[in-house]
């Protein structure tokens, strides 16, 4: 049997076992300025956009409310009124950057639904391409991502900033 080494996943595996002991990673990251090292792409009064550290595909980003909540029905109206435009703006940026054939946009509510960090609500925006599924996750529990996180960040950031600049006037008031 051949082995596929992924030592960068050790940080994640260790983090999963210590989640109850640590502060919320999402709350901490939203207090930081956008930077390739923390993968924060954009922050505003109610939310932030970050590159997923463990992506399903190139360009997988998360939209996070600033509030540490676990359910959609706990969201403040300020976040709810900007969520649609934020998703639309992220979609526009990812289309310009990666030219995907489609997108998955969703949320996993609770660990049973697949949430890796169930205590802080977050929305996924995942670019998809025809034929991007393969046997690796099934046979080896491994995802093949063909772009490095720093490269993804540097590609997405200018497109995201441009998309936010072009967004609607009522939406700009939250940025």
Question: Over the stretch 30-56, which tens digit does the pLDDT of each residue have?
Answer: 889 999 999 999 998 889 999 999 888
Active site amino acids:
122
Q: How many domains does the chain have?
A: 1
Q: Above 50 in pLDDT, residue 26? A: yes
| 20 in any annotated domain | no
Q: Quote the domain boundaries for residue 82.
A: 39-172
| 86 in any annotated domain | yes
Q: What is the CATH number of the domain that holds 75?
A: 3.30.428.10
Q: Kindly state the average pLDDT of the residues 59-88.
A: 91
pLDDT tier at 175, thresholds 50, 70, 90: very low
Q: Taking the CB of residue 19, how many other CB atoms lie within 10 A of it?
A: 13
pLDDT tier at 101, thresholds 50, 70, 90: very high
| 16 in any annotated domain | no
| 31 in any annotated domain | no
| 27 in any annotated domain | no
Q: Above 50 in pLDDT, residue 170? A: no
Question: Over the stretch 108-153, which tens digit does the pLDDT of each residue have?
Answer: 999 888 888 999 999 999 999 887 765 555 555 666 677 888 999 9
Query: In Å, what is the CA distance from 157 to each residue of 10, 29, 150, 162?
Result: 27, 16, 11, 9
Report which of 124, 32, 12, 155 is spatially closest to residue 40, judged by C-alpha positions. 32
| 14 in any annotated domain | no
Report which of 120, 128, 132 is spatially closest to residue 66, judged by C-alpha positions. 120
| 164 in any annotated domain | yes
DSSP per residue, 114-148: T-SSTTS--EEEEEE-TT---SHHHHHS-----S-
| 19 in any annotated domain | no
Radius of gyration, alpha carbons of the chain:
16
Query: In Å, what is the CA distance from 138 to each residue of 34, 71, 84?
Result: 35, 30, 33
Q: Taking the CB of residue 69, how many other CB atoms lie within 10 A of it?
A: 15
């Amino acid at each position: 049997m051949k082995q596929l080494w992924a030592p960068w996943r050790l940080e994640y595996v260790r983090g999963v076992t210590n989640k109850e002991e640590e502060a919320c990673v999402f709350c901490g990251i939203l207090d930081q300025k956008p930077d390739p090292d923390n993968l924060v792409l954009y922050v505003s009064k109610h939310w932030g956009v970050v590159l997923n550290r463990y992506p399903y595909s190139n360009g997988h980003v998360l939209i996070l409310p600033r509030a540490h909540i676990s359910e959609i029905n706990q969201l403040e109206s300020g976040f709810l009124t900007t969520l649609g435009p934020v998703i639309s703006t992220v979609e526009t940026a990812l289309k310009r950057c990666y030219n995907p054939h489609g997108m998955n946009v969703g949320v996993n509510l609770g660990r049973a639904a697949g949430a890796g960090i169930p205590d802080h609500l977050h929305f996924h925006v995942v670019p998809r391409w025809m034929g991007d599924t393969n046997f690796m996750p099934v046979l080896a529990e491994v995802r093949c991502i063909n772009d490095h996180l720093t490269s993804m960040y540097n590609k997405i950031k200018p497109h995201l900033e441009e998309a936010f600049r072009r967004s609607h006037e009522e939406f700009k008031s939250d940025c």
